[in-house]
Each structure stands twice: as structure tokens, then as C-alpha cells.
Amino acid sequence: KVKKLKGEGIQTCNDELKAEVVNEQRLIAGLRESIKQHQLFIVYQPIVDSKTREVWGVEALVRWQFQTELVRPDHFIPLAEKSGFILELGLWVLQQACTEFLLLEDCQNKHLSVNVSALQMQTESFFTHVQSVLETTGFDPHKLHLEITESALMTDDQQVLDSVMSLKAMGISLSIDDFGTGYSNLSQLTVLPANILKIDKSFVDASAKERDVILRAASLIASELKFLTVAEGVETEAQVNELTLRGIDLLQGYYFAKPMNLGKLSQWLKQQAN
């Protein structure tokens, strides 16, 4: 009785796998309806100047309320990529974030940063889509930043490089997201028209030694290439102090504020101004 039969384990495994596939299909089908059903919304997380503590801007982060579940983007973005829905989703996020952001009273000199998937960048129509969002919303391209993971940028895909150049020419900046987690080819970094390096939270949390290595590397690259540096996932005052001392320009994390909807953000910005 105690001993498990060999076959049983395999059976359970298969069942689990099947359940996972079914759940994935359920989510993908749900995602396709999410825009029409008004289940997607955006939350904004402030990004703060380390020296002055003034608000530099916000990062837009998408949320999906599917029936009773709030599905995490780490979970549904990969599914959106797998199913191709990411193109529609990405465009919706950009349009929505630019529109909402302009409704803020205090948005004038603040920046908006929006995450973009590698698959979007690989699409020929990406640039014209961005252009039309800017035209229809009247958003200032110099205030818009697109966040792309370093692995997505470390490519020889001509389509991606063309998109990047066209965006840049229009005045839009690029941020390298999750810096340190990919395989940055340093020589390629020098030719990329990016302006911001976002140091991944895993390094903010790493051991003192690891942190030292990545912070030194990031600062060196940033000063050579005239990039700004952002540290993500800053949760404690000790981290704020260290990162500021180390010359990190901008800070983002729960220490300052969690991502919030537009109404909350508007209140939060007013409080900061007082």
C-alpha cells in the first residue's frame, strides 16, 4: 500500500500536464476577448530621481482581471506572445497609457515608460503603429520611453534595428529592461540607440559582492554611453542610500510606491507636490 506503483506516478504526471494545457488554452481564449470585455487595465509605478527625490516619471504595467482572477503579467504576457495576441495587446497598452497619462494634471514634465515585447519590435508595422498613437493622442515623443529587454535588443534582426532607428529619429527613447539578466554583448550596447539602463531587481537584492560588480559595470557603461541608470525593485531605505551613493540616477520600487491606477497616481502625485 505504501509503495507507489510505477505507472501511477506517470499517470498523475500526464494528468497534470493535460490540466496545464487545458488551463493555458482557457487563458489564451480569454485573452483574445480581454480587450473587448474591458478586462485589461493599466497601473503606473513612479520612478524617482535619486538625488532630488522628485518624480521623474512612471512605468505603465498592464493588468488582466479575468473572471475572478487577477492574472499576473509574468503569466499572461508569455501566453500572449505564444498566441500572437501580444501585437494587439501591446498596441492597446500604448494607446491606453498615452491617453490616460495626458489626463493627469501634473504630467507636463514627466516621462512615461511602456514595456514592449520583442515580437512587437520584430513586426514591420510597429513603427507606424507607434507613430499613429502619438498622432492620435498628441503625446510628446520626447516624453515616451519604450522598455525592451536586453535579450530582445541583442539581435541582428534588421527589422528590429530599423524599428529602433526610426523610433529614435522620432525622439522616442529606449530603455534596456532587466539589465544584467540577459547576455549583453557590450560592443552591441555601444551601437544601440538606447538612453536608459534598468538594473534588474535581482541585482538590487543580490549579495554585496554581486551588487558591487553589476553596479560598477552599469555605472561605467552609463557614463561612457551617456545613459541614465534606473534601479528596479527598491524596497528599503538602505537600498535607496546605497544606490544613490553609487550614482544610480533613478529609483523605482515599493519603497516609493507600488503600481497604482490612474486615480491613485493622480492623488499620489499631488501629495508629492505638497
Interface residues with Mg ion (CB under 5 A)? 115, 147, 177-178, 232
DSSP string, 217-254: HHHHHHHHHT-EEEE----SHHHHHHHHHTT--EE-ST
| Separate counts of helices (H) and strands (E) for the chain | 12, 9
Q: Which is nearer to ligand C2E, 186 or 254 (CB)?
A: 254
Cα distance between residue 94 and residue 64, in whole Å: 15
Smallest separation, CB 254 to Mg ion (Å) = 14
Identify residues 49-68 at the interface with ligand C2E (CB under 6 A): 61-62
- C-alpha grid cell, residue 85: 495576441
Cell 508629492 sits on residue: 272
Q: How far apart are CB 137 and Mg ion at their closest, in Å?
A: 20
Residue among 34, 50, 96, 115 that touches ligand C2E (CB under 6 A): 115
**Residue 66, SS3 per DSSP:** strand
254-257 long-range CB contacts below 8 Å, 24 or more apart?
256/46, 256/48, 257/45, 257/46
Q: Which partner, Mg ion, ligand C2E, none, binds residue 73 by CB below 5 to 8 Å per kind? A: ligand C2E
Look at residue 93 and give the partner it binds from ligand C2E, Mg ion, none, a contact being a CB closer than 5 to 8 Å depending on partner kind.
ligand C2E
Per CB under 6 A, which of residues 11..40 are in contact with ligand C2E?
A: none
Residue 1 or 218 having the CB closest to ligand C2E: 218
- The answer to whether residue 253 forms part of the interface with ligand C2E (CB under 6 A) is yes
235, interface contact from ligand C2E, Mg ion, none, CB < 5-8 Å by kind? ligand C2E
Under rule CB under 6 A, residue 242 binds ligand C2E: no
Looking at residue 135, the DSSP 8-state letter turns out to be H
User: Cα(194)–Cα(228) distance, rounded to whole angstroms?
Assistant: 10
Distance CA 96, CA 110 (A): 17
Is residue 118 a contact point for ligand C2E (CB under 6 A)?
no
When the beta carbons of 1 and 227 are compared against ligand C2E, the nearer one is 227
> Which secondary-structure segment (H or E) carries 115?
strand 111-115
Site size toward ligand C2E (CB under 6 A) is 23
Q: From Mg ion, ligand C2E, none, which one binds at residue 146 (CB under 5 to 8 Å depending on kind)?
A: none
Q: Please, what's the b/e burial string for 63-84 (b: 16 or more CB within 10 A of its CB; e: otherwise)?
A: bbebeeeebeeeebbebbbebe
Nearer to ligand C2E by Cβ, of 245 and 254: the residue is 254
Stretch 183-222 residues interacting with ligand C2E (CB under 6 A): none
Binding site for ligand C2E (CB under 6 A): 45, 61-62, 72-74, 77, 90, 93, 115-117, 147, 177-178, 232-235, 252-254, 259
